[in-house]
Amino acid sequence: MRSVKQLLEGKASGAASPAVIAVDVDDPVLAAIQSMADHHIGAVLVLRGGELAGILSERDYARKVILKGRASAGTAARDIMSSPVVTVAPDDTLDHCMRLMTERRIRHLPVLDGGAVVGVLSIGDLVKAVIEEQQQEIAQLQHYIVSG
């Protein structure tokens, strides 16, 4: 199974937008939601001084702003972000990432290398990678059966 680093390299080669979308802890939630909408993503990282402080998802917004009657423009990202954040390293396997996401019921995994954010994996990224690997295995098996 591929590593996180290999998957991120594949994402970078085919990406039209930056791999990491983030807001500052002091930014209003409205800015985070606008950034998610602009980039067609479901979560943004929240940084404090360039370091990962939390993650803010559409789910956080719905549960901690909308349902509580708070104002998006007047609420800081730090007030509704999820923290601490579950993270992975570039050397971790995709299987490990899928287990983490399943066990923790999360959809996004920031990738840290020596404390620095180097990427983010979504559940969609992992599902796509697994499907690609399965298709390759099937093609190899079919070739083996036909040639054998």
Contact of 8 with 19, CB cutoff 8 Å: yes
Amino acid at 5: K
pLDDT of residue 17: 45
pLDDT of residue 148: 66
pLDDT band at 14 (very low <50, low <70, confident <90, very high): low
Contact of 78 with 46, CB cutoff 8 Å: yes
pLDDT of 18 > 60? The answer is no
Amino acid at 9: E
Residue with tokens 């199974």: 1
pLDDT of residue 28: 98
pLDDT of residue 11: 81
Q: What is the pLDDT of residues 92-109, one digit of tens each?
A: 999 999 999 999 999 999
Q: For residue 33, what are its two tokens?
A: 């939601």
pLDDT of residue 96: 96
Amino acid at 27: D
pLDDT of residue 137: 87
Would you state the CATH architecture of domain 4-147? Roll (3.10)
pLDDT of 15 > 70? The answer is no
8-state DSSP, 108: E
pLDDT of residue 132: 87
Q: What is the pLDDT of residues 27-80, one digit of tens each?
A: 999 999 999 999 999 999 999 999 999 999 999 999 999 999 999 999 999 999
Domain boundaries of the chain, sorted by first residue: 4-147
Q: What is the pLDDT of residues 115-140, one digit of tens each?
A: 999 999 999 999 999 898 888 888 88
